[in-house]
Amino acid sequence: MQTISVPGDKSISHRALMLAPLAHGTSRITGCAPGADVASTAEAMKSLGVEIREVGDSGLEIDGPVRLVSPAAPIDCGNSGTTARLLTGLIAGQPITATLDGDESLRRRPMGRVVEPLRAAGAAIEERGEPGRLPLAVSGGGLRAIRYELPVAGAQLKSALLFAGLGGSVPVAVFEPGHSRDHTERMLLAMGAPLKMEEVGNGRRLRLDLPERPLRPLSLHVPGDFSSAAFWIALAVLGGCGSGARLTGVGLNPGRTGFLRVLKAMGARIHTTSAGESAGEPVGDIEAGPLEVKGLKLPAEWMPELLDEIPIIACIASRAVGITVIRGASELRLKESDRIATLCSNMSALGVKCVELDDGMEIVGSGAPRSGRVRTEGDHRIAMAFAILGTLPGNDIEIDDRACVDVSYPGFWERLAEI
């Protein structure tokens, strides 16, 4: 059985870099995600007046609290939607002005869901390009109390509103009609924020009151990124790691591990072992071994926990016995690429029977050899998912853009070659 470690969690790394400057004292963070997306957040925070010191091989220190300043030039968010959306909230709460921009792909992704509630709370946000898209000029400060019902469950929108309330010293009340990733909530609670959560039906109500005490600094080792681990888990399940693989030090946040539930429902052999917590985030090891998997109709209510893993689930489904049906995943059309269209067109190009649906796809699995060229549309998860499929015996798959993987997983290709 092969032992594999993965880079730090992107979602947690973004949030740590943005929240540490709001704490009173020195935050110490190790194991931050090394990809270009988190680097965009780090550079953005530096442009806002935050000093980030490198300590040792993988450590960072940030002193707080920091009085954020208006940057001299537009902030380049690169390809990172998390950077753009969370920073919009953070800046909206501060008495500063900043313009947020990104690459061509990020400029196509929607920002309206974040912009509208922040404008309603008093932030001045000007779209410098197409409506609801980057670049955005954000003038913050002077916010009113934030009360908002999210149209759909969404971790980035929820987090942006909480960041705005923290920076603007106004209370926040948010209702989420489902459950999305709760990394922001866990980190705020670890820092002593007066955040209350209440389950309401299938959703959740959050309330952030004005802090009576300063936020505590972070002492955080970022867990391994579960979405990165998913590719190696898939490789093990499909028989590409010999007797199996053991992923160590991986984040096991229940809002992120829906992929394991899918694999178990398809008949895969998965075992997890807890190794404690880091700043409120559960951490542990995952073992996966080769086993024939069966097609599955994925319930739509599972989708909020699965969106990042749908590309690799689709590739597993192409090797499963029977038909896999994915519905309720329309959000995939708003990612780095239109992931539904990109997945289906590539499946067809490789000879896999795949039907594109408005909110998902149907895939007919087969053990037949697959060959062809995958068009990633610059999407890192598409590239990595089909790379895993391409390693299986009999398959000959070419990836058109290997470099796009660097936004989330530098060193992926070298690790894949080793395994």
Residue 154 sits at the vertex; the CA angle it makes with 61 and 338, to the nearest 5 degrees, is: 100
Residue with the two structure tokens 């980190």: 187
The span from the CA of 322 to the CA of 293, in Å, is 9
What does the block give as tokens for 152? 């759909």
Dihedral sign of CA atoms 162, 164, 165, 166 in order: positive
The neighbour count for residue 317, using CB atoms within 10 Å, is: 29
Phi-psi region of 345 (alpha: psi -120 to 50; beta: other; left: phi over 0): alpha
The catalytic residue among 308, 338, 358, 400 is 308
Residues with Cβ < 8 Å from 105, sequence gap 6 or more? 79, 336, 337, 378
| Chain length of the chain | 419
Q: Is 308 designated active site?
A: yes
What does the block give as tokens for 403? 């470099």
The span from the CA of 12 to the CA of 182, in Å, is 10
Q: List beta partners, residue 97.
A: 139
The span from the CA of 92 to the CA of 98, in Å, is 9
Reference 3, options 246, 273, 284; nearest CA is 246
The span from the CA of 144 to the CA of 150, in Å, is 18
Reference 204, options 259, 162, 169, 251; nearest CA is 162
Residue 344: in which H helix or E strand, if any? helix 339-349
The span from the CA of 362 to the CA of 375, in Å, is 20
SS (H, E, C) 145-171: CEEEECCCCCHHHHHHHHHHHHHHCCC
Q: Which residues are catalytic?
A: 308
